């Protein structure tokens, strides 16, 4: 009986081992090649990820992608880009040390054409008759055919081309309308650009000019830049204002010693023609005595004064698309209510207990409490600071001029006389002259107070334009236009303030 029991256990063990061997994976066996892709139909330029799902023991993969990039891969899950429309096959060869198998899927991937979006560029906007004019197709969607038309706006012969990047020569002068129709076998698109290029007679010229900067201070320099259209061979410049300059250089540089607005005239000549352009009040030169900083906001927020103090943007920064008080576009800064400009801390801005004047042009409609400018003040109340803020309320605090230190504050509150949020340009000037503080609006004194003691208004911190810096966070952001911020380390007289207002 005992031997029978041993025999039973022995036979059971043999049976268990046999079953376990049958269930175990057989190394070296690849039963079937299987692969899939995340997409089978795409547009040209798109990508597909392939994955191996073969049944069995696989150690190596060799993919072949007809029409794909890369054309081959040894990864188990490669990513492939198809740039050209078509129908393509995919092959996967898998192997291990004992065997290999191959699967090819015919017509597995379909690559369609892209939707076309026609567009083009040219190297310049103005050319001369019979000059080579290159055009470059920049259409999206991989077009395969192009139909160009070049039509004189004021009449003349229309030129055509079917090459992708044509180089044209034009006989008719004037502006041309350019049309491009780009297409592939599935899609087409057309773009028309009016007055895209201008063709000139080689002898014609048109005077024009710019400057490296339109504003400086007395003692500063401005370089005038020729921007004339055509081929002038001679230049005659005349700059007129508080002093007069002339030059025959193409791009002269002048040093201005007298403040004021300056008219610029340029006459250009060649052997066939001449032309003149005059721009009144084109340049601005501000007084330089004790000038600390001058931010004219002409296309950018930089200090054009003698100290060239570093500036930086806070929040989204400012933009320069609007016109200034003279109607010149781009020569004023727009503050959006969440941005500002910092002038880095500088000895010229650390007024201490000395005199100072801060002049600014402003245009706004906002009734929100907002700061025009602030010196120091990062540590909050009773920090050494000075500032000018608008709209603390709609009654007696429409404008506030503050001087503050640890011993107390001197604040001038202005009611209706301080109202400037009427969507018109206003010149606002704040002055400290000893114990006297003054505010001028549009050249007229609207407020004056006498402080009981001199306040130390600087604390080695940055100067802010368009917002208030506090101990916890920035606040009181300005919304509207600010222009020509001028800072002096002296008290301007009433006559000097009125002279600034006239600039």
CATH of the domain at 432: 2.60.120.200
Same domain? 47 vs 77:
yes
Is the predicted pLDDT of residue 438 greater than 70, yes or no?
yes
- Nearest by Cα to 463 from 336, 318, 303: 303
Residue 495 located in a structural domain: yes
Is the predicted pLDDT of residue 7 greater than 50, yes or no?
no
- Per-residue pLDDT tens digits for 463-475: 999 999 988 899 9
Is the predicted pLDDT of residue 6 greater than 90, yes or no?
no
Under 8 Å between Cβ of 488 and 346 = no
C-alpha distances (whole Å) from 50 to each of 36, 60, 88, 109, 398 are 6, 15, 14, 11, 69
Same domain? 179 vs 213:
no
Residue 13 located in a structural domain: no
Lowest mean pLDDT among 25-34, 117-126, 223-232, 340-349: 25-34
The residues, ordered by sequence, that sit 6+ positions from 39 with a Cβ below 8 Å of its Cβ are: 46, 48
Higher pLDDT, 471 or 20: 471
- Per-residue pLDDT tens digits for 50-95: 999 999 999 999 999 999 999 999 999 999 999 889 999 999 999 9
pLDDT for the residue numbered 463: 97
Under 8 Å between Cβ of 197 and 175 = yes
Same domain? 299 vs 265:
no
Same domain? 104 vs 240:
no
Is the predicted pLDDT of residue 455 greater than 70, yes or no?
yes
Tokens of 295: 């931010």
Q: How far, in Å, CA of 423 to CA of 46, rounded?
A: 52
Q: What percent of the chain clears pLDDT 90, i.e. is strictly above it?
A: 86
Is the predicted pLDDT of residue 12 greater than 60, yes or no?
no
Domain final residue pick, 271, 286, 301: 286
Q: Report how many domains make up the chain.
A: 4
Binning pLDDT at 50, 70 and 90, where does residue 17 land?
very low
Q: How far, in Å, CA of 287 to CA of 302, rounded?
A: 18
Binning pLDDT at 50, 70 and 90, where does residue 334 land?
very high
Q: How far, in Å, CA of 270 to CA of 232, rounded?
A: 5
Same domain? 82 vs 39:
yes
Q: How far, in Å, CA of 258 to CA of 260, rounded?
A: 7
The residues, ordered by sequence, that sit 6+ positions from 33 with a Cβ below 8 Å of its Cβ are: 54, 92, 93, 94, 101, 102, 103
Q: Map tokens 């002096």 to a residue.
A: 488
Tokens of 149: 């038309």
Is the predicted pLDDT of residue 484 greater than 60, yes or no?
yes
Residue 3 located in a structural domain: no
Phi, psi (5° rounding) for residue 129?
-50, 140
Residue 12 located in a structural domain: no
Mean per-residue pLDDT, 277-294: 98
Residue 258 located in a structural domain: yes
Residue 2 located in a structural domain: no
Residue 453: CB atoms within 10 Å = 11
pLDDT for the residue numbered 204: 87
C-alpha distances (whole Å) from 108 to each of 52, 83, 85 are 15, 16, 13
**Residue 281 CA, distance from chain mean position:** 28
- Per-residue pLDDT tens digits for 250-278: 999 999 999 999 999 999 999 989 999 99
Same domain? 244 vs 222:
yes
Same domain? 325 vs 411:
yes
Residue 330 located in a structural domain: yes
Same domain? 478 vs 396:
yes
Is the predicted pLDDT of residue 231 greater than 50, yes or no?
yes
Residue 21 located in a structural domain: no
Ordered DSSP codes for 48-115: EEEEE--EE---EEEEEETTEESSEE-SSS-EEEE-S-EEEEEEEEEE-SS-EEEEEEEEEEEEEPPP
Domain final residue pick, 144, 166, 200: 200
Under 8 Å between Cβ of 257 and 219 = yes
The answer, as to whether pTM is greater than 0.75, is: no
Residue 298 structural domain? 291-502
pLDDT for the residue numbered 318: 93
Same domain? 331 vs 386:
yes
Q: What is the CATH number of the domain that holds 58?
A: 2.60.40.10
Strand partners, 167: 134
Lowest mean pLDDT among 12-21, 330-339, 354-363: 12-21
First to last CA, the chain: 125
pLDDT for the residue numbered 1: 42
Strand partners, 488: 291, 357
CA-CA-CA-CA torsion sign (57, 59, 65, 69) = positive
Higher pLDDT, 202 or 214: 214
Tokens of 228: 């004339």
Q: How far, in Å, CA of 33 to CA of 27, rounded?
A: 16
Q: How far, in Å, CA of 181 to CA of 276, rounded?
A: 41
- Per-residue pLDDT tens digits for 98-153: 999 999 999 999 998 999 999 999 999 989 999 999 999 999 999 999 999 999 99
Same domain? 188 vs 303:
no
Domain final residue pick, 263, 286, 309: 286
Same domain? 295 vs 282:
no
Same domain? 300 vs 443:
yes
Under 8 Å between Cβ of 196 and 178 = yes
């Amino acid at each position: 009986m005992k031997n029978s029991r041993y025999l039973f256990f022995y036979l059971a063990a043999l049976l268990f081992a046999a079953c376990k061997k049958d269930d175990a994976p057989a190394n070296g066996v690849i039963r079937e090649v299987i692969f899939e892709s995340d997409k089978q139909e795409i547009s040209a330029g798109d990508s597909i990820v392939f994955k191996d799902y073969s049944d069995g023991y696989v150690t190596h993969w060799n993919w072949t992608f007809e029409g794909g990039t890369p054309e081959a891969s040894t990864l188990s899950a490669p990513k492939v880009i198809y740039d050209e429309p078509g129908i393509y096959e995919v092959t996967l060869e898998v192997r291990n040390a004992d065997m290999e198998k191959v699967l090819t899927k015919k017509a597995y991937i379909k690559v369609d054409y892209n939707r076309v979006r026609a567009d083009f560029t040219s190297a310049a906007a103005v050319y001369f008759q019979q000059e080579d004019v290159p055009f470059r197709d920049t259409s999206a969607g991989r077009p395969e055919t192009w139909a160009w038309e070049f039509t004189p706006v004021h009449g003349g012969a229309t030129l055509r081309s079917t090459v992708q990047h044509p180089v044209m020569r034009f006989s008719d002068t004037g502006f041309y309308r350019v049309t491009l129709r780009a297409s592939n076998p599935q899609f087409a698109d057309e773009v028309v650009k009016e007055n895209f290029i201008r063709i000139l007679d080689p002898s014609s010229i048109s005077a024009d000019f710019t400057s490296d900067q339109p504003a400086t201070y007395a003692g500063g320099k401005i370089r005038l830049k020729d921007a004339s259209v055509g081929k002038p061979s001679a230049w005659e410049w005349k700059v007129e204002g508080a002093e007069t300059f002339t030059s025959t250089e193409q791009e002269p540089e002048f040093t201005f010693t007298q403040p004021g607005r300056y008219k610029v005239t340029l006459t250009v000549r060649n052997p066939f023609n001449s032309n003149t352009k005059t721009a009144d009040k084109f340049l601005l030169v501000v007084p330089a005595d004790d000038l600390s900083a001058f931010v004219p906001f002409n296309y950018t927020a930089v200090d054009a004064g003698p100290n060239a103090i570093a500036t930086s943007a806070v929040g989204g920064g400012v933009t320069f698309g609007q016109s200034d008080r003279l109607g010149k576009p781009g020569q004023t800064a727009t503050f959006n209510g969440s941005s500002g400009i910092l002038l880095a801390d500088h000895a010229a801005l650390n007024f201490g207990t000395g005199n100072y004047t801060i002049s600014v042009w402003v245009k706004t409609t906002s009734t929100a409490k907002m700061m025009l400018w602030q010196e120091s003040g990062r540590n909050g109340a009773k920090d050494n600071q000075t500032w000018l803020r608008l709209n603390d309320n709609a009654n007696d605090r429409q404008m506030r001029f503050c001087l503050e230190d640890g011993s107390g504050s001197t604040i001038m509150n202005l009611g209706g006389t301080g109202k400037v949020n009427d969507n018109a340009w206003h010149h606002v000037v704040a002055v400290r002259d000893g114990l006297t503080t003054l505010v001028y609006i549009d050249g007229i004194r609207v407020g004056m107070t006498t402080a009981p003691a001199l306040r130390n208004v600087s604390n080695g911190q940055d100067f802010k334009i368009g917002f208030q810096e506090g101990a916890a966070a920035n606040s009181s952001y300005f919304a509207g236009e600010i222009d020509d911020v001028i800072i002096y380390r002296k008290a301007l007289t009433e006559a000097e303030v009125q002279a600034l207002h006239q600039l």
